[in-house]
Amino acid sequence: MNIFNFFEAEFQAISNDLKGAGTIPETVDVSKVVFELPRNATHGDIACNAAMVLAKQAKMKPRELAELLAGRLAGCDGVTRVDIAGPGFININVEPRLWSAELRCILAAGTQYGRNDRGAGKSVNIEYVSANPTGPLHAAHARGAVLGDALAGLLEFSGWKVTREYYVNDAGGQVDILAHSVYLRYLEALGETIDTIPPGLYPGAYLKDVGVALAARDGDRYLALDEDKWLNPVRQFAIDAMMAIIRKDLVKLGVEMDVFSSEKALVEGGAVQAAIDRLQQDGHLYCGVLEPPKGKEPEDWEPREQLLFRATAFGDDTDRPLQKSDGGWTYFSSDVAYHLDKLERTGGRLINVFGVDHGGYVKRMMAAVEALSGRKNMLDIKLCQLVNLMENGKPVKMSKRAGNFVTVRDVVNAVGADVIRFIMLTRRSDQTLDFDYAKVTEQSRDNPVFYVQYAHARCSSVLRQAGTMPDEANLDILTMPAELALIKQLVSWPRIVVAAATTHEPHRIAFYLMDLASAFHSLWTAGRGNPALRFMLDDDAELTAARLWLVKATATVIRSALNVLAIPARDEM
RNA sequence: GCGCUCGUAGCUCAGCUGGAUAGAGCACUAGACUACGAAUCUAGGGGUCGGGAGUUCGAAUCUUCCCGAGCGCGCCA
């Protein structure tokens, strides 16, 4: 039993008791009452906000209610003192044994410590990366990849049934351009001289290999054909080649998708028409003329009547067109179909990880999912800000026009997947992030990956030197402030998981790991100045045993948290 | 013009969905080394949380209006 859950359960009993006695009304809602570690350690071991949260409902003054509750809480097992402070905080001090009991839970659970069942086995679909199949993943894609993947690990750790999904935009104009670009390289492979790649086509050298491979497989059969004859096979070949590259890049990053969904298959299977029929039936569509956007009117704007989705009924700023002037579907309408497909397949919630450049797309997608599902909050969209690649503080130059950009593969080869996975989570996802090659491989406090891994390596080092672990230890004797500070940090892990999972914010795990590492490094160094604080003591086998278990628990929690991020812990640096 | 994401220490950023005297790291100052028990740690100075108004016991957090930055705004995806 988690110490916080213990007090929450005790509080539940106390409030029921008070309700029964008529001291507080039956209707009082205690769901916002929390027991937590106070920010300031001088405020005791555990703080409770109940008096402030419930004062209005109970029609009592916060301090008065606090007095009442404090009296009851003082009677709970292990409580040594209860104070009331500030506007009505109830600060509880407990016997150290309550903390060491938690330590035993950690050791019993191993790296499963922190897991919870909030998801209750329900399905959630996370769509991320979904880069166009027109080239290798570039560095900016890595952030979305890591965010989505960490989120997936986090939600699994919280009891959700997670599907990791990549949406392949293999229909539409971009892949036609790809096909034309590859066709040029194909001609080149067959001996024709290509001076310059015409503007509008993909100039990247990575397409040369694709042209060569196409020539090797199919020979010169497309040479004399008209475009409408070669376009389909060349396009398919190119898309397959690009997706093979992208999958390899993802594997290098440690990302393994469960599902790759094809836009082309969706469209050809009639899913768009089906989705539109569905919206039509439910009365969400109409034909109308859109106002041009104010302030920035496109030069070629022509008012025209078109099929529109009534997105404004679901909070969007304007209604959204579903059909292009040439009669084809807009990207939005195939995306509507795709989200309907995901809703039906998943039978649960959806999460999309988008780049910031798709920010303007969020409202209409939320609107569409609400219209399709008939429910709010079925879709959460995480926007991923830009990554600035740096080398010793200076931006890395990239020339898009020449087609040479820094790829995910380049970065993985330079610094390793573990470093990328961690560093990408050292900022909130909606904050821009500087990724400095030099700094992220530095072996110092400046580099959070190193700092965390080093803490784990130090734990391993101690355990190595100790040899075998003592079978039993009296953990109740771990009572020094620095020890208790570390234990409290360890005990926080399950709550971090819950908070990060419910807010869909995996960066909290990275920050937690840094805090935990800091608490451990601090305790470690304390032993330097004061030999009595060392983990292994020649003259005190009992304390040594207890401290070894503390070290073991620390390593366990670090490993558990790194596991969620799919980063292996290291035993040596 | 409208919308989205932001604005927190000199710099880079957290802030547990409204809680206590707003926290870290870097840098700066002063200290601690028998190197996997110094790749680290301890202590110190440093703030009008962009600005105004509002909501309430209580606001960095919620509402609203300004200022500033980035992104987006039918027939690209």
Task: Give the 3-state secondary structure of A167-210.
Answer: EECCCCHHHHHHHHHHHHHHHHHCCCCCCCCCCCCCCCCHHHHH
Nearest nucleotide from residue A447 CA, by C1' atom: B25
User: Which one has a higher pLDDT value, A533 or A405?
Assistant: A533
Nearest nucleotide from residue A47 CA, by C1' atom: B20
Summarize chain A as % helix, strand, coil (round to 5): 55, 15, 35
Tell me what the mean pLDDT of segment A464-488 comes to.
Answer: 88
In the structure, what pLDDT confidence band is assigned to residue A216 with cuts at 50, 70 and 90?
Answer: very high
Distance CA A170, CA A306 (A): 25
Query: Are residues A108 and A72 part of one domain?
Result: no
Residue indicated by tokens 């004797």: A477
Tell me what the mean pLDDT of segment A132-159 comes to.
Answer: 94
pLDDT in tens, A353-390: 999 889 889 999 999 999 999 988 899 999 999 898 88
Domain that holds residue A160: 124-168+255-384
Query: What residue has its CA nearest to the C1' of B23?
Result: A39
Query: Are residues A140 and A109 part of one domain?
Result: no
Residue A455: what pLDDT? 95
pLDDT of A422 over the 90 cut: yes
CATH number at residue A143: 3.40.50.620
Nearest nucleotide from residue A171 CA, by C1' atom: B77
Distance CA A244, CA A250 (A): 10
Query: Are residues A264 and A136 part of one domain?
Result: yes
Residue A400: what pLDDT? 54
How does DSSP classify residue A225? Answer: S
Nearest nucleotide from residue A462 CA, by C1' atom: B37
Residue A125: what pLDDT? 96
Query: What residue has its CA nearest to the C1' of B41?
Result: A525
Q: Which of A384, A404, A425 is the last residue of a domain?
A: A384
Residue pair A516/A561 in contact by the 8 Å Cβ criterion: yes
In the structure, what pLDDT confidence band is assigned to residue A461 with cuts at 50, 70 and 90?
Answer: very high
Q: Which of A220, A244, A268 is the last residue of a domain?
A: A244
Query: Are residues A550 and A531 part of one domain?
Result: yes
How many Å from the CA of A501 to C1' of B55? 30
How many Å from the CA of A552 to C1' of B30? 35
pLDDT in tens, A496-509: 999 999 999 999 99
In the structure, what pLDDT confidence band is assigned to residue A281 with cuts at 50, 70 and 90?
Answer: very high
Q: Give the strand pairing for A349-355 and A379-384.
A: parallel
Q: Is residue A422 situated within a structural domain?
A: no
Residue pair A58/A90 in contact by the 8 Å Cβ criterion: no
Residue A531: what pLDDT? 85
In the structure, what pLDDT confidence band is assigned to residue A315 with cuts at 50, 70 and 90?
Answer: confident
Query: Are residues A179 and A161 part of one domain?
Result: no
Percent residues over pLDDT 70 in chain A: 98
Residue A399: what pLDDT? 58
pLDDT in tens, A171-209: 988 999 999 999 999 999 999 998 888 988 998 899 999
Q: Give the strand pairing for A285-289 and A305-309.
A: antiparallel
In the structure, what pLDDT confidence band is assigned to residue A401 with cuts at 50, 70 and 90?
Answer: low
User: Which one has a higher pLDDT value, A548 or A391?
Assistant: A548
Q: Is residue A21 situated within a structural domain?
A: yes
Q: Is residue A423 situated within a structural domain?
A: no
CA neighbours within 13 Å on the CB side: how many for A418?
13
Q: Is residue A473 situated within a structural domain?
A: yes
Query: Are residues A79 and A210 part of one domain?
Result: no
Residue pair A119/A160 in contact by the 8 Å Cβ criterion: yes
How many Å from the CA of A505 to C1' of B50? 26
Residue A293: what pLDDT? 79
How many Å from the CA of A443 to C1' of B77? 41
Query: What residue has its CA nearest to the C1' of B24?
Result: A515
Strand pairing partners for A382? A353
Tell me what the mean pLDDT of segment A297-313 comes to.
Answer: 85
Residues 6+ apart with CB under 8 A from A126: A148, A151, A152, A155, A162, A163, A164, A165, A350, A351, A352, A353
For residue A485, what are its two tokens? Answer: 């500070």
Residue A532: what pLDDT? 87
Q: Is residue A361 situated within a structural domain?
A: yes
Residue A398: what pLDDT? 66
Distance CA A25, CA A128 (A): 48
> C-alpha angle A368/A369/A373, rounded to 5°?
125
Query: Are residues A188 and A157 part of one domain?
Result: no
Residue A403: what pLDDT? 56
How many Å from the CA of A374 to C1' of B5? 27
How many Å from the CA of A510 to C1' of B27? 23
CA neighbours within 13 Å on the CB side: how many for A429?
29
Query: What residue has its CA nearest to the C1' of B6?
Result: A431
Nearest nucleotide from residue A324 CA, by C1' atom: B75
Query: Are residues A87 and A73 part of one domain?
Result: yes
Residue A409: what pLDDT? 93
pLDDT in tens, A64-117: 899 999 999 999 999 999 999 888 899 999 998 898 888 999 999 999 999 999
Strand pairing partners for A166? A260
Distance CA A168, CA A264 (A): 8
* Number of domains observed in the structure of chain A: 4
Nearest nucleotide from residue A38 CA, by C1' atom: B20
Q: Is residue A416 situated within a structural domain?
A: no
Q: Is residue A434 situated within a structural domain?
A: no
Residues 6+ apart with CB under 8 A from A312: A318, A319
Distance CA A550, CA A278 (A): 59
How many Å from the CA of A476 to C1' of B20? 30
CATH number at residue A493: 1.10.730.10
Nearest nucleotide from residue A42 CA, by C1' atom: B20
Nearest nucleotide from residue A134 CA, by C1' atom: B77
CATH number at residue A24: 3.30.1360.70
Query: Are residues A375 and A279 part of one domain?
Result: yes
Strand pairing partners for A138? A407
Nearest nucleotide from residue A524 CA, by C1' atom: B37
Residue A402: what pLDDT? 56
How does DSSP classify residue A128? Answer: -
Distances (CA, A) of A542 to A155, A215, A376, A403, A471: 39, 74, 57, 65, 11
pLDDT of A252 over the 60 cut: yes
User: Which one has a higher pLDDT value, A395 or A494?
Assistant: A494
First-residue to last-residue Cα distance in chain A = 35
For residue A478, what are its two tokens? Answer: 């771990």
Highest mean pLDDT among A59-63, A392-396, A563-567: A563-567
How many Å from the CA of A314 to C1' of B1? 23
pLDDT of A573 over the 90 cut: no
A290: helix, strand or coil: coil
Residue pair A130/A145 in contact by the 8 Å Cβ criterion: no
Max CA-CA distance within chain A? 93
pLDDT of A62 over the 80 cut: yes
How many Å from the CA of A110 to C1' of B41? 29
Length of chain A: 573
Query: Are residues A107 and A75 part of one domain?
Result: no
Q: Which of A334, A365, A384 is the last residue of a domain?
A: A384
Residue pair A340/A276 in contact by the 8 Å Cβ criterion: no
Q: What is the average pLDDT value for chain A, to the nearest integer?
A: 91
How many Å from the CA of A522 to C1' of B28? 22
Query: What residue has its CA nearest to the C1' of B32?
Result: A529
Query: Are residues A266 and A137 part of one domain?
Result: yes
Exposed, middle or buried, A292 (CB in 10 Å: 0-12/13-18/19+)? Answer: exposed
In the structure, what pLDDT confidence band is assigned to residue A391 with cuts at 50, 70 and 90?
Answer: confident
How many Å from the CA of A74 to C1' of B5? 46
How many Å from the CA of A157 to C1' of B39? 32
Residue type for A524, please? W
Q: Is residue A411 situated within a structural domain?
A: no
Percent residues over pLDDT 90 in chain A: 65
Distance CA A418, CA A146 (A): 10
Query: Are residues A499 and A459 part of one domain?
Result: yes
Distances (CA, A) of A20 to A17, A24, A486: 5, 8, 40
Residue A451: what pLDDT? 95
How many Å from the CA of A115 to C1' of B56? 37
Query: What residue has its CA nearest to the C1' of B33?
Result: A528
The protein footprint on chain B, as nucleotides within 7 A of a CB, is 1-6, 12-17, 19-21, 23-26, 32, 36-42, 57-58, 70-77
Exposed, middle or buried, A547 (CB in 10 Å: 0-12/13-18/19+)? Answer: buried
